Chain A
Amino acid sequence: MNAEELARIRAELVNGITKPLKDFYLSYREDCRNVLLSKNLSDIDGADDIFSDAIIILRKNLISGKIQVLTSVRSYLISTCINLARKKIQYTTRTQNKMNEVRLLFYKNNDTTVDEVENKSELIEISKRAFSSLTDRCQKIIEGYYIHKLSMREIAENLELSSSDVAKTLKSRCYKSLLLEVKKLRSKS
């Protein structure tokens, strides 16, 4: 896959288009499954689950720009599946790592209130609802900026905004709206 194709797929993924992933999924699922089964690394159901995770990792790495060169999507997915199955990759998200880091800050300061924070599933639900209440463009900006660490310029380019300054202004507005919406939903619950 050349740089142009990579850039095109990246732009599609940033814009929430999942068709490239579906194409990869349908093209290589059997291959990954066969490799995992032949190496006795998984059963069929487990193999499919691992493959889904590999697709998610591929998406993240494509969007964040970790993948700059990709000669074979098939090989990438197969090796990711093998590593996931052998638990060489501990699949923790970037924001999960960040959260763990913040928790450590609490412990360092002998603050145990961190253990009393609200139920995880409840927070996920509230955050999801707050996130969904934002415009489609806001959602993409927040995901791009905070989750995939895209620069303002990259966000402006991929979302076809007129400049990175526009992206920056929108990002601040969107993020504040998100926090406000979370606060509202929390007060209701």
Chain B
Amino acid sequence: MNLSEEQFNIIQKYLRDDLNEKDQVLFDSWSEDSNFRTELLDQASILNSIETSIDTDLKNEINSWSGTTNNLKEISSETKGKSSVIKYLVALLLLLGAFWIYKIYSPVELDYKQVYASNFQVIPRENNQRGSEELYHLKYTEAMEFYGQGEYLKALDKLNEIEEVSPKIKSYKAICQMKLSKYNKAEVLWKEIEKEGDNEEIQNAEWYRLLISVYKSNQVNIDDQLEEILSNPNHLFHKKAIALSTSLK
């Protein structure tokens, strides 16, 4: 089957679907020649055989991947069958491993409380400069006295007796609640302050709410609230928030 170089090239193009119109005309005319057709079929068959062979080899390789997994399973089940002692040892090792992992990871929860404790500071008590003749001032002064002495329950009682509930009073109440571990009640108060207070009071509220989230290990809230403070470089607690963020990593 002696083909010209041109015929050989046309066959190459045909096999790759690269024939242009001119090539197609040539191809059609040559395809009437049995020698040409035979060579064409030969090459097409060889390429098909190669592709089939590559696919078969790959399929065998793929099946061997499956076989590996199955063999491992078989080996594992054989081992189990042979020695129950090994089975128990494996179980024991797994238990020890689980305990070890627990020991490694359990401090993470405790860390939140530690982070909270190391960041929580009470708002300093206010020294009442005003006269004490009015009932409001009397109760407030008493509350601040208790507050200053760390008597938060008594301070809270006194603050609750004051009818006028300003954001400032609420702030002290919220701190008292936090000191008494009533975090949910404190959170409600801080939220109210965020709506009613001035800029400083709002920023205080944001910081303490963040601390409550830290105490509760609520990572979603922590991320949101931290982001709120960190995004404002002029925030009263910006630096503390940076430090808190680092300690939580």
Identity of the chain A residue whose Cβ is nearest the Cβ of B61 in the assembled complex = A18
9 residue pairs, one from A and one from B, having the closest CB atoms:
A127-B49, A95-B48, A128-B53, A124-B49, A99-B44, A95-B51, A52-B62, A95-B47, A102-B44
How many chain A residues touch B (CB < 8 A): the figure is: 46
**Stretch touching chain B among A70-78, A82-90, A144-152:** A144-152
Identity of the chain B residue whose Cβ is nearest the Cβ of A129 in the assembled complex = B53
Residue A12 at the chain B interface, CB threshold 8 Å: no
> Which of the residues A18, A95, A102, A175 comes within 8 Å of B40, measured between beta carbons?
A102
> Which of the residues B17, B53, B62, B63 comes within 8 Å of A124, measured between beta carbons?
B53
| CA–CA, A105 and B37, complex, Å | 8
How many chain B residues touch A (CB < 8 A): the figure is: 32
A178 surroundings in chain B (CB, below 8 A): 46
> Which of the residues A98, A120, A147 comes within 8 Å of B50, measured between beta carbons?
A147
A52 touching B63 in the complex, CB below 8 Å, given contacts A102-B37, A102-B40, A105-B37: yes
Q: Is the interface of A mostly helix, strand, loop or mixed?
A: helix
Give the number of A-B contacts (CB < 8 Å): 105
Residue A48 at the chain B interface, CB threshold 8 Å: yes
- A-B contact list, 12 entries, CB within 8 Å: A25-B65, A53-B59, A93-B51, A95-B47, A99-B45, A101-B44, A126-B49, A127-B49, A128-B49, A145-B16, A146-B47, A178-B46
Residue A187 at the chain B interface, CB threshold 8 Å: no
CB of A26 within 8 A of CB of B69, answer yes
A38 surroundings in chain B (CB, below 8 A): none
Residue A10 at the chain B interface, CB threshold 8 Å: no
Residue A69 at the chain B interface, CB threshold 8 Å: no
Identity of the chain B residue whose Cβ is nearest the Cβ of A91 in the assembled complex = B55
A residues in contact (CB < 8 Å) with B: 18, 21-22, 25-26, 29, 48, 52-53, 55-56, 59, 93-96, 98-99, 101-103, 105-106, 109, 111, 113-114, 117, 120, 123-124, 126-128, 130-131, 142-143, 145-147, 149, 175, 178-179, 182
Identity of the chain B residue whose Cβ is nearest the Cβ of A23 in the assembled complex = B65
CB of B37 within 8 A of CB of A56, answer no
| CA–CA, A120 and B48, complex, Å | 10
> Which of the residues A29, A131, A145, A149 comes within 8 Å of B17, measured between beta carbons?
A149
| CA–CA, A52 and B50, complex, Å | 19
Identity of the chain B residue whose Cβ is nearest the Cβ of A55 in the assembled complex = B62
Identity of the chain B residue whose Cβ is nearest the Cβ of A147 in the assembled complex = B51
